[in-house]
Amino acid sequence: MNDVLVVGAGLAGLHTATLLAEQGHDVLLVERRTNLTSAIRTTGIFVRKTLDDFPLPAECLGPPIRRVVLYPPDLRRPVTLVSGRDEYRVGDMAPLYVAAAKRATSAGVRIALGTRYAGRVGNAFGLVGRHGPTQVRARYVVGADGARSRVARDLALDRNLHLLIGAEEVFAVPGSDEPPTFHCVLDPSLAPGYLAWVVNDGQHAHVGVAGYAARFPDGMRKALERFGKEAPGLSRAERPVEVERRGGPIPVGGLLRRISCADGLLVGDAAGAVSPLTAGGLDPCLRLSTLAADVLDEALRGRPDALTHYDGAALRAHFRGRLMLRRGLAQVRTPAAASAAFKLLRTPLGQAAARRILFGDRSFPTS
């Protein structure tokens, strides 16, 4: 019998599995992809607090970004905010996943790629791999299987109901005299309920849109195509014919209330561990995964009641402000309303609020 079965080899699953194995536990991690460098969904933006607190491989990170430019729908009179500190770096996610998997296997994690979680079967868990279906037993299961988690369903835990969908194109760009910049466009006709963005760090450009699926006037892909033709921050960058395409659901309903039970727990997107306002998920996934590994370590050492302390309802209380702002952003439904919001954003008070959101010291709370 395995101590822990981890389902999903994104950063949340890899981090949880590695920490548990480093504490001496037997861990099996399964991932339906046959290659960790394919079907990447995240933009890979790491914030300063993550960079300060977690040992990410420097060679997998792009140049530091201190500059954020916020645009109204007509792209005129944008608001530029510059921090005195390095605020963001964009991860090169393919080699970062490979490095994380190498650390996991070095710690003793057994990784089964090309293996799909097929659901709970009595006291066991069904898996479908390269050699057909099989069953494994584990004392605990960890759902790191994304925003539409099947593990959450099997454990009768909470599931994400409030989702955005996002898509982006990623391609290399030539060097530029412009400083690395995060460009954000508030235009409900392009990104209903969220933002369109360009992250250009001088090495790679990420051009994307996200919003509520039912509110894209002509569909998300058409919105991305339209935005790509007029996106700011790419004046000297020629888009290659072949680009990397990413996309997927983004939970923005805040951390789910019930994320653990006697048989296991949820981490990452499966737990709703994403900022309701900014939709940033990498810092929350690493912090919540650390807490999950600590709780499971205690449970495996003879304190099964430790799982009761992995309480999403208690942590969710820290997100009241961000949830309120998420509801406000969701109500910006027309370009005229977005343009009106920029009147406040151009004031000292509005810019101070934006700085607090974009450059603040707060991170995902784990206690």
Tokens standing for residue 284: 């929350």
Number of domains in the chain: 1
pLDDT of residue 318: 77
pLDDT of residue 366: 61
Residue written as token pair 């820290």: 318
- Whether residue 286 is predicted with pLDDT greater than 70 in this model: the reply is yes
Rg (CA), the chain: 21
Asked if the structure places residue 250 within a domain, the reply is yes
Cα 81 to chain centroid distance, Å, stands at 23
40 pLDDT band (50/70/90 cuts)? Answer: confident
For 320, the 3-state DSSP assignment is helix
Q: Which residues pair with 196 in a beta bridge?
A: 185, 209
pLDDT of residue 354: 92
The DSSP secondary-structure symbol of 257 reads: S
Tokens standing for residue 350: 């509005």
| More confident call, 319 vs 253 | 253
Asked if the structure places residue 364 within a domain, the reply is no
User: How high is the mean pLDDT of the chain?
Assistant: 92
Model confidence pLDDT, tens digit, residues 323-363: 888 888 888 889 999 999 999 999 999 999 999 989 987 76
Model confidence pLDDT, tens digit, residues 293-328: 999 999 999 998 999 989 999 888 777 878 888 888
Model confidence pLDDT, tens digit, residues 209-225: 999 999 999 999 999 99
Quote the CA–CA distance of 184 and 295 in Å, as a whole number: 38
Asked if the structure places residue 366 within a domain, the reply is no
For 254, the 3-state DSSP assignment is coil
| pLDDT (average), residues 156-175 | 92
347, with CB counted inside 10 A (0-12, 13-18, 19+), is exposed
Model confidence pLDDT, tens digit, residues 80-102: 999 999 999 999 999 999 999 99
pLDDT of residue 41: 84
- Whether residue 365 is predicted with pLDDT greater than 80 in this model: the reply is no
| pLDDT (average), residues 162-166 | 95
Quote the CA–CA distance of 64 and 129 in Å, as a whole number: 40
Structural domain boundaries enclosing 86? 2-359
pLDDT of residue 14: 97
pLDDT of residue 303: 93
CATH number of the domain where residue 334 is located = 3.50.50.60
- Whether residue 237 is predicted with pLDDT greater than 70 in this model: the reply is no
236 pLDDT band (50/70/90 cuts)? Answer: low
| pLDDT (average), residues 109-123 | 94
Are 96 and 57 in contact by the 8 Å Cβ rule? The answer is yes
pLDDT of residue 255: 93
pLDDT of residue 39: 83
Are 168 and 291 in contact by the 8 Å Cβ rule? The answer is no
Are 279 and 330 in contact by the 8 Å Cβ rule? The answer is no
367 pLDDT band (50/70/90 cuts)? Answer: low
Q: Which residues pair with 354 in a beta bridge?
A: none
| pLDDT (average), residues 240-251 | 89
| Amino acid, res. 266 | L
Asked if the structure places residue 365 within a domain, the reply is no
Quote the CA–CA distance of 354 and 348 in Å, as a whole number: 10
Asked if the structure places residue 294 within a domain, the reply is yes
HSE on the CB side for 118, CA within 13 Å? 14
Asked if the structure places residue 119 within a domain, the reply is yes
- Whether residue 31 is predicted with pLDDT greater than 60 in this model: the reply is yes
- Whether residue 73 is predicted with pLDDT greater than 80 in this model: the reply is yes
